Amino acid sequence: MNTHLVIPNHEVQGVIELLLSEGWLSQTLRIHPHESEEFRLVPLDSGAPQNLPPPLDQYPILVTEGKPTQNRRPTWQSVLEELVGAETIEEYESIWPASHEFIGDMMLLKIEEEVRIYEEQIVKSKMESHPHVRLVLEDRGVKGEFRVRDLRPMALRINGQIKHNPSSDAVETRVEVRESGNTIICDPTLAYYSSRLQTERIQNVIEAEALREKIGAPIAVADPFCGVGPALAHLINRQHLTSQILASDLNPEAINILNDNLRRWRGCNFVEENQTKLQFNKDIWSGIQDARELPNNPDLLGRWNMLIINLPHLFSEFLPLLLPLMDVTKPYVIRGRLVCRHDEIYDKHEQLMQQISSPNAKVVLDPRRDYSPITSLCSVTIKNS
């Protein structure tokens, strides 16, 4: 028996994209019709969490016999076993790179030193299992002032052949990705982007639409750590959802790509030579800016209905600094992520409540996954009504 999500037909493609980004879609079972023709059964991978995060948690779960895919490809584990042998698979069972992340036609994975001698076999198994992958990159964590991922090319597919250890100059890492119908230009070697945050971005939309209904008008959204703009893509491409947008970041490369995205999404024409300061064009503020300095601009104070703080290690530090941006005459929402110790979630909740210092504020800290053995990565939603 296998776990399936019961999805309305018109929502299936969006759910597939979301499950693929998280690695939760079954690779061995196929999507098939529900007994009601208005729904499809979408099979989950055995590694999917028991409690799915929003918006996936809204769909009913049905445990039923799965239907094997007719065009079944070998799993990367089975290919790897053919290459290195069953004994080696068993010896390193807990440290093979079971998870990976897709960004367009690229795959990012982390590899432990104990199995590095099998790097070529690992890459070959991953690429045979996923024939759409053009480039495999080793994710060695983040580096530098802008916390950009340190990515090393491991293999490149050229005319069907796999070339191992290609030079960085020989690979193209600027790609287009699709999220819920939105096309986003990104380059993870220049600016941080994670497809695994798509659930957070969709939750932003859910909160934004509820806020628009409450206010009775399109909302003003500030994203002072916007990167290339993936969170904004979900918001500004929805009709009548947003009014003004603040999109800033300290990383010049991120702003360059962001402005390319904004040109496509909204027809904005930002002047490149003036990119070192915020520019205003078609209801959008965009530019390189230290978030700490935003409250010094009187044009930005008391204007925004929604604030996104995607800075997990510094959420608590930036929250009080950025509160002057919020329009306190109306309901507002603050969304972000935060890292804290497992045993300090309650204390962190109380700290955030004190920082907001409003009797109408509600703070929700939702631990999504372990960041380390002693810390959790939490989704944060603050509502002031």
Give the separation between CA 94 and CA 277, rounded to whole angstroms: 48
The answer to whether position 71 is within a domain reads no
End position of a domain, from candidates 173, 198, 229: 173
DSSP string, 235-247: HHTSTTTEEEEEE
Give the separation between CA 275 and CA 268, rounded to whole angstroms: 13
pLDDT of residue 72: 65
Say yes or no: 188 and 311 in one domain: yes
Q: What is the CATH number of the domain that holds 233?
A: 3.40.50.150
For the segment 65-110, what is each residue's pLDDT rounded down to a tens digit? 898 876 667 889 999 999 999 999 999 999 999 888 999 999 999 9
Say yes or no: 155 and 180 in one domain: no
**pTM of the complete model:** 0.85
DSSP string, 160-186: TEEEES--GGG----EEEEETTEEEEE
For the segment 288-316, what is each residue's pLDDT rounded down to a tens digit? 999 999 999 999 999 999 999 999 889 99
In this structure, are residues 191 and 148 in contact, taking their beta carbons and an 8 Å threshold? yes
The answer to whether position 341 is within a domain reads yes
pLDDT of residue 214: 96
pLDDT of residue 21: 72
Say yes or no: 137 and 219 in one domain: no
The pLDDT of residue 371 is above 80 = no
The answer to whether position 347 is within a domain reads yes
Say yes or no: 210 and 163 in one domain: no
pLDDT of residue 50: 82
Provide the number of structural domains found in the chain: 3
Say yes or no: 230 and 354 in one domain: yes
Q: What is the CATH number of the domain that holds 51?
A: 3.30.70
The answer to whether position 54 is within a domain reads yes
pLDDT of residue 71: 61
Domain residue limits at 7 = 2-64
Say yes or no: 47 and 160 in one domain: no
The answer to whether position 281 is within a domain reads yes
The pLDDT of residue 273 is above 90 = no
Give the separation between CA 61 and CA 359, rounded to whole angstroms: 38
Give the separation between CA 317 and CA 309, rounded to whole angstroms: 11
127-154 average pLDDT score: 93
pLDDT of residue 334: 98
Length of the chain, in residues: 385
The answer to whether position 69 is within a domain reads no
Give the separation between CA 347 and CA 328, rounded to whole angstroms: 25
**Cα-based distances in Å from 290 to 7, 139, 196, 287, 322:** 42, 27, 26, 10, 11
Say yes or no: 218 and 277 in one domain: yes
Say yes or no: 148 and 284 in one domain: no
In this structure, are residues 340 and 371 in contact, taking their beta carbons and an 8 Å threshold? no
Q: What is the CATH number of the domain that holds 146?
A: 3.30.300.110
Share of the chain above pLDDT 70, in %: 97
For the segment 144-191, what is each residue's pLDDT rounded down to a tens digit? 888 899 999 999 999 999 999 999 888 999 999 988 778 999 999 999
In this structure, are residues 76 and 125 in contact, taking their beta carbons and an 8 Å threshold? yes
pLDDT of residue 161: 93
How confident is the prediction for the chain on average, in pLDDT? Answer: 91
Say yes or no: 365 and 243 in one domain: yes
The answer to whether position 123 is within a domain reads yes
Say yes or no: 120 and 167 in one domain: yes
End position of a domain, from candidates 157, 173, 189: 173
Give the separation between CA 242 and CA 218, rounded to whole angstroms: 5
Handedness of CA 142, 46, 310, 345 (dihedral sign): negative
The answer to whether position 308 is within a domain reads yes
pLDDT of residue 158: 93
pLDDT-derived band at 246 (thresholds 50, 70, 90) equals: very high
Say yes or no: 188 and 121 in one domain: no
End position of a domain, from candidates 173, 203, 222: 173
- The residue type of 298 is P
Say yes or no: 139 and 215 in one domain: no
pLDDT of residue 22: 75
